[in-house]
Structures are given as C-alpha cells and as structure tokens.
Chains A and B, each alone.
Chain A
Amino acid sequence: MAVDQAAGRDFWSAGDRSRASRPPGSGRASRVLKTAGRYALLTVLAAIVLFPIYIAIVNALLKPDQIAGEPPTFVPTDPQWHTFPDAWDGGHLGVYLRNSAIVTAFITLGQVVTAILAAYAFAFLEFPFKRTLFVTFLATLMVPFEVTIVTNLATVDSFGWLNTYQGLAVPFLATGFGAFLLRQAFLQVPRDLQDAAAMDGYGHLRFLTRVAVPLARPAVAALAVFSFLGAWNQYLWPLLVTEDDRLRTVQIGLKQLRQTSLDQVNVTFAGVLIAAAPLAILLIVFQKQLVRGLTAGAVKG
C-alpha cells in the first residue's frame, strides 16, 4: 500500500506532549504503556469496522432460531456449513457470478483500451480541434450516468440489447476519467525518449506498445482496478436492462436472495459472503493499484 511507505509521526495521541518534560527513569515503562495504548485503540477501531462482517460470518453458520435468540450467539459452536452450498444453489450464485465476471471483464478491458488510444492521441499527436475534443472528454465527467438512463434504456431496447451482455457493457466501454488519467501519465514520458524512438524508426504503434504503455504501467493498472471496481459494483443499470435471471449480475442476484430467503437468514448471510468474496480477494492482491487509482484525483488536486 502506498501509505505504508511514508508512515509519519503520531499527532493523535496526546501522550506525545510530555515527551520533553518526562522525569528520567520512567521513560521506558511509559513508552511501553503508550505503545500498548495505541495498539488497544487500533484494535478497538478495527473491531468496530469489522463487526458487520464478523456478524455476517457468524450468522451464516448459525441456525435460524439461534440468530433470532437473545442474547445473540457470537461464536458458532455447531457451525452449519451447509448454508453455503444452499445459498450457492438456491441463489443461482454460480450463474450470477459468471455474468458479473463476463460483463466486468468486458467493461474493464474496453475502458483500458479506449482510454489508452484516446490518451495517446491527446498526449502525442497534433490535430485540429484537439483542445475542444479534450474538453468534450472532460465534459462527460459532469454528466452522472443516472441523468442518461431514460434515453439509454430506450436506445438499448431499440438495439434489441435488453437482457444481453452487450446491453450491460457497451454503454460503459469508454471513460473520460481514464483518458484524462492516462494522458497525464503519457505526458511524463521524456521528450528524449520520443526523439530516440523516432531515430530508431519506431512508428506510432511500436512507440505506443513498447515505450508509452510500459512507462505508464502504474497508471494503466490503477485505471484497470478502478474500472473493475466500478463495473463489478454496478447496480442501477443491470437492474434496468436485465429481467432474465440468466443474465442477472451478482449485485442484482443479492436482491433476489434477500427477497426469497428471508425465512432462512443464515442462507442470506452465506450468499452475501460468497458474493463478496471474489472482490475481497482481488482487492487484497491489487491494494496498491487501487489506492493509487482512488487517490489520483484527490491529492494532486
């Protein structure tokens, strides 16, 4: 994680204040105490953040009457592992996860490719109306997707794309944010390198694939993770364009799960955990890229 590299000093703990005036001798003991206090605070905060997830795991393994009981059971002594296969089969999670994977892969790949192409044009090529077109790309960021759904629904319908993967993915195959992010990265490519590549007789395609994209790899990775997260978590659009269960994505599958198995609360929790697992695993692997993608706009301003 990027944050790890530059851990700063603590200005949260009020204990710091007395460092200079601390009587000699008590230094070590108080430092140990202070460190213990910090760990205690962090652990309490971690427990609060994780509490809903912990409860979901525990409740997935309990029997429904245990979940309803007071006081609540916080440790499953007789874990009901069958809730996971029950949720998988009853909730059609296999189909939904596959659909989400297909649509997400389609959108992520599409956004990365179209953004690389557009960013290359904006960073390395000269052509009339370049500025106007760039502003047009930025203008897309001002229009929330919710503002366009009325007509997009009709458009997708007129293409015959309701209940299709195209209908789910095609409206999202380009990204103004991505084009902007990668343009900034491409502009960092040293001028000398461009000249050297030109001397070596590199055409645009070779320069793009051998120099520009490899140098901008962190930004490309950040965009990929960012696009993936957005596509995987989509809710409103899949809800609007799919009515066929075979095309539903996992987020909409969760809605069905919530409605159909309310009398089996443990199965609902098991289903949620299955649905959440792929993203959780991916984000642990790609944590660094994610943090970079999310903070790209925030800190530099």
Chain B
Amino acid sequence: MRGTALRPRRYSRRVREAGLGYLLLAPSIAVFAVFIFYPFFKNFYLGLYRNPFFPGQPRRWVGFEQYSDVLTSSEFAKSVRITVLFALYTVPLGIALGLALALAAHQRLRGIAIYRTIFSSTIATSVAVASVIFGTLLNPRVGLLPWIGLESTPPILENPTWALLAVSVTTIWQNLGLSFILMSAGLQAIPDDLLEAAHVDGAGAWSRFRNVTLPLLSPTIFFAVIVGSIFAFQSFGQIDLLTRGGPLGDETNVLTYFIYRQLRGTEQVPDEGVAAVLAIALFAITLLLTVIQIRVLERRVFYGR
C-alpha cells in the first residue's frame, strides 16, 4: 500500500533531478559541441575537399587524395621533424633545470621562500613577454651577445643553424617556473623518513638522490615529460614572434605554424583543406602521447601501490 502510494512521487522526483542535471550540464555541453566536437569532426570532412585555386569558386571533392598528398609531402615531413626536434631541445632540458632548482630550494633555510618565489617567477611571463625580451636581446642592435662572443652573421634569429635553438632557449626559460613548481611539488610528496633511513644506512647524498629521490619522483617527471611534449607540439607564439617559421622559409616551421600559414598565409591563398589535414596529424600525435601516458600510469599504479 505504502509503496504504491510513494511510487509516483519518487518517480517525479527522479525526473526532476535528471532534468536539473541536464540543465546544469547544458552550458558546458553547448560550448563543447560548437567549439570542440563540431570543428574536430569537421576537420575530417574538410580534408576530403580541395580548396579552390581562386577564391569564390566551390571546393572540389578529392577524397583521400589530399590526405596522402599532404602527409607524404616533404614540407610536412620537415615540419614534423622540426616539431620533434623542438620538443627534444626543450622538454628534457627544461625538466632537468626545473629539477635542479627544486633540489636546490628543497631545504630548511631562513629566507628560502624568497628563492622559491624567484625560481617560480617566470610563470608570470607569457610566451609573448619572454619572446619579445629574448627577441630584442638577440637583435643585432643590442651589444650583449657580441660582448660575450655570441655573434653570428646572419643574426641568430635569421641563421638556419641557430634559429631553432634560440627559440628553444626562450621556451625553456619561459617554462622554467612551471617546471620548478611541478618538481618541487613532487619532492614534497616524498616522505622524509625514507631519506632519513637511507641516511642512517650510510647512503651518501648522490646515492640517496639516485636510489630514493629519483625513483619516487619518476611519476612526476614522467607527467612533466608528457605534458611538456604536448605543450611543445602546440607551441606557436614564440615562433610567430621570433622567426615566423623562418629562416629560409621553413627552418622553424613547426606544425602549429604550418597550420596557421594555411589559414592566414601571407604568400598563399588560405587553404582550409590542407590546414584540416595538418590539424588531424597534430591531434594524432597528441593522442599518441596521451595514450602512452595512460598506459605507463596504469603500470605505475600496478607496481607502485
């Protein structure tokens, strides 16, 4: 008797709760649908169409021809190579330097908070701020580099040998604060008694670092490597501000800049079809890195805890 009396009320409450749930999710879902999922899937469709040579004409269906043209082009291969090189220059060194700073600041000393603030300070610089500072310092009109013997003709940012390295140094400096903060947080999570025990057992500083700190820090380092690589593959501002993809046209033409050129190219007609194929390639690389991360994290949970 009581059950049947309650059922309609409970039912309507459930419906109301579900309605509220969808209502609360609606704003987010609307933004995601229009600005993430729709453009994401549209890429695959756009890639099937060749853009008209003259603006105003309809685009032409070419199927997978455009995919294979773009993905096998030497321009694409070079762009991927430069993007990978850029990640290799910036990620490992950036993390190592962040770790070095974090280790140096991981001690009980009066005033250590000031040093920590300084070490994390580059987090307050945007890509644009860092790029303009470094770009101006590398300007031949500034006497600092010639003075320390780092002069080159053509100037560093126009020099095929040096341009990518200069962009990388700028990036490493700009990300140093973030790297320091991540590594410091990782160090805080290591229990003091483990290091204490190693100390009592007579392990030296290097041995404690090598055998206790580093293994326990490895999840943090791994996280930083993956996230850092994903960031590196998305870097754009420093290229646009320092080299615009050059010198020689494409010596620093990373994938994001390649895409940008297709949309807002100065020398060519905007080409959405090619840009879409490049965007899919960028997505595939990011996805690969994310999958690797999940795989390794799963393994860590299995062995570690």
Contact surface of A with B, Cβ cutoff 8 Å: 1-4, 6-17, 35, 38-39, 41-42, 45-46, 49-50, 52-53, 55-56, 59, 64, 67-72, 113-115, 117-118, 120-121, 125-128, 130, 133, 136-137, 140, 142-155, 170-176, 179, 204, 229, 232-233, 235-236, 239-240, 250-252, 254-255, 257-258, 262-263, 265, 268-269, 271-272, 275-276, 279-280, 283-284, 287, 290-291, 294-295, 297-299, 301
Q: Which residues of the partner chain A approach B136 to less than 8 Å between Cβ atoms?
A: 59, 258, 265, 268-269, 272
A56 touches B109 (CB 8 A): no
Q: Which residues of the partner chain A approach B35 to less than 8 Å between Cβ atoms?
A: 148, 152, 155, 170-172
Neighbour of B123 across the interface among A13, A173, A290, CB < 8 A: A290
B109 touches A126 (CB 8 A): no
B185 touches A295 (CB 8 A): yes
A49 touches B139 (CB 8 A): no
Contact surface of B with A, Cβ cutoff 8 Å: 14, 17-18, 20-22, 24-25, 27-32, 34-40, 42-43, 46, 100-101, 103-109, 112-113, 115-137, 139, 141-144, 146-147, 173, 176, 178, 181-182, 184-190, 192, 195-196, 199, 204-206, 208-209, 212-213, 219-220, 223-224, 227, 230, 233-234, 236-237, 240-241, 256, 259-260, 263-264, 272, 275-276, 279-280, 282-283, 286-287, 290, 297, 300-301
B119 touches A265 (CB 8 A): no
Residue of A nearest to B183 (CB): A298
Residue of B nearest to A254 (CB): B128
A4 touches B113 (CB 8 A): yes
Known: A6-B188, A68-B143, A240-B260. 14 other contacts (CB 8 A): A12-B104, A38-B107, A42-B109, A49-B122, A68-B142, A114-B31, A126-B21, A127-B18, A133-B29, A142-B287, A174-B30, A235-B126, A254-B131, A269-B133
Residue of A nearest to B185 (CB): A295
Interface of B is mostly: helix
6 closest cross-chain pairs (CB), A and B: A151-B39, A127-B18, A174-B31, A10-B107, A127-B21, A235-B237
Q: Which residues of the partner chain B approach A150 to less than 8 Å between Cβ atoms?
A: 39, 42-43, 46, 259, 263, 272, 275-276, 279
Neighbour of B104 across the interface among A41, A121, A179, A276, CB < 8 A: A41
A67 touches B133 (CB 8 A): no
Neighbour of A70 across the interface among B117, B122, B147, B260, CB < 8 A: B147
B9 to chain A, nearest CB (A): 15
Q: Which residues of the partner chain A approach B40 to less than 8 Å between Cβ atoms?
A: 143, 147-148
A118 touches B25 (CB 8 A): yes
Residue of A nearest to B27 (CB): A114
Provide a sorted-by-A list of 21 A–B residue pairs whose CB atoms are within 8 angstroms.
A2-B188, A15-B205, A17-B204, A38-B109, A42-B115, A56-B133, A113-B27, A121-B24, A126-B14, A126-B18, A136-B29, A144-B234, A147-B282, A148-B35, A150-B276, A150-B279, A240-B260, A265-B141, A268-B132, A283-B124, A295-B185
A224 to chain B, nearest CB (A): 16
B182 touches A295 (CB 8 A): yes
Neighbour of A146 across the interface among B36, B189, B205, B259, CB < 8 A: B259
Given A127-B18, A140-B36, check contact A59 B25 (CB 8 Å).
no
Docked complex Cα distance between A8 and B214 (Å) = 15
